[in-house]
Amino acid sequence: MDYALKTFDLSKQYKKKAVVNKVNMNICRGDIYGFVGENGSGKTTIIRLITGLISPNGGSFELFGATNTSPEIYSARKKIGAIVEAPSIYQNMSASDNLRMQCRLMGINSEEKIISTLKEVGLEAVINDKKHASDFSLGMRQRLGIAMALLGDPEFIILDEPMNGLDPAGIVEIRELILKLNGEKNITFLISSHILTELSLVATKYGIISHGQIIREITATELRAECGRITDIVAADQEKLMQLLRQSFDESRLSYRPEGVRINGDVNLHSVLCEIISSGNEILSVKCSETSIEDYYLSLLGGAKHD
C-alpha cells in the first residue's frame, strides 16, 4: 500500500493535558480522507503536527515514507499544500497579487502559473481584477486559499474546516473543486470537519476522532454498509449484554447507552437473541430501525464516552 501519511501513536500534550492521544491514521495516495470530530477533538492540532507547525510529545508519523525526525521530512513537506484554520490571504491585495506574493515566497517566477492556477480553482473572472480579497465572498476566499496551496504542485492538500461558514452554493463549489483536483490530478486530500453529512459527498475514507483519540477509521464503502440498520436491545443486565455482544461484534459497531445497547449494521437477529437467552439474561425489548450517517457518528461518540 502506497501511503501519503501514516501516524504511529502520535501524541501532543499541553500542560500535561493530552490534546492528541496515541493517534494512528492511515491515508493512502489518492484518498479523500474525511477527518471528522466535534470542535476541540484535536483535528487542528494533528494538522499542525503533520505540517510541522508544532512538534509531538510522543509517537511519530511518516509523510510519503519520510519519518518526521529524518532529514527527508523537509522534502516530503514540499509535496503538501495546506490551509490551517483559515486561508493566509492579504485582504488588501487582489487575487493575482496574493498569488504573486506567494510565488515570491516559494521562489516561483511565473505569471503563467498564476493565471493557470486561478483558472483551475474557478477564479478566472478576477485574474485582471484589482478588487481586494476583502471584498470577495467567503467561498471565493476559500478558493483563493486553495489556489495558493496549489502553486507548488502538491500531491497532498490539507484543508482545515474548508466549508465552515459557507452558504450552500459555496459548499457545492468547494466540493466540486476537491473532486475535480482528486479525479484529474490524483491529489490526496485530508479534510477536517465536524459535519459528517457534507464530507460523505466527497470522502473515500474517514477518520473519526473524539477527545484526541481516533475511535474509528472506515472506508466510504464500509460506512454505507454499516449505516443502514441499527438494533437497540434492552436486557435485565445491560453490562452482561455488552460483554456478550463484544464477543460477536467489532467494538466500533457497539455503543452503550442507559436505554439499551445499540448494534450498528446488519445483524442476524435470531442468532443474537438466542445467544442472549442462552447466557441467562432476560430480554426486555428489541427495536430495529434505519440510521443516518449523523446518527451513526453520534452513536460512535456515545460509545467512546462510555469507554
Q: Which three cell numbers stand for residue 132?
A: 481586494
Residue range 166-208, pLDDT digits in tens: 888 888 888 899 999 999 999 999 999 877 777 888 999 999 9
Q: Which three cell numbers stand for residue 48?
A: 499542525
Model confidence at 304, pLDDT cuts 50, 70, 90, reads: low
| Distance between CA atoms of residues 294 and 296, nearest Å | 5
For the chain, residues classed under CATH 3.40.50.300 are 3-219
User: What is the model's pLDDT at position 66?
Assistant: 96
**Under the phi-then-psi rule, with left for phi > 0, alpha for psi from -120 to 50, and beta for the rest, what region is 264?**
beta
The CATH code belonging to domain 229-290 is 3.30.70
User: What is the model's pLDDT at position 105?
Assistant: 85
Encoded amino acid at 247, one letter: Q
Model confidence at 76, pLDDT cuts 50, 70, 90, reads: very high
Parallel/antiparallel/unpaired status of strands 254-257 and 283-290: unpaired
Buried residues in 53-79 as b, exposed as e (16+ CB within 10 A): eeebeebebbbbebebeeeebeebbeb
For the chain, residues classed under CATH 3.30.70 are 229-290
Residue 64 has pLDDT above 90, yes or no: yes
| Distance between CA atoms of residues 119 and 146, nearest Å | 12
Torsion angle of alpha carbons 197, 203, 206, 209, nearest 10°? -50
Q: Going by CATH, does the domain composed of 3-219 fall within 3.40.50.300?
A: yes
Q: Which residues are paired to 287 by β-bridges?
A: 232
Q: Which residues are paired to 182 by β-bridges?
A: none
Can you give the pTM of this predicted structure? Answer: 0.77
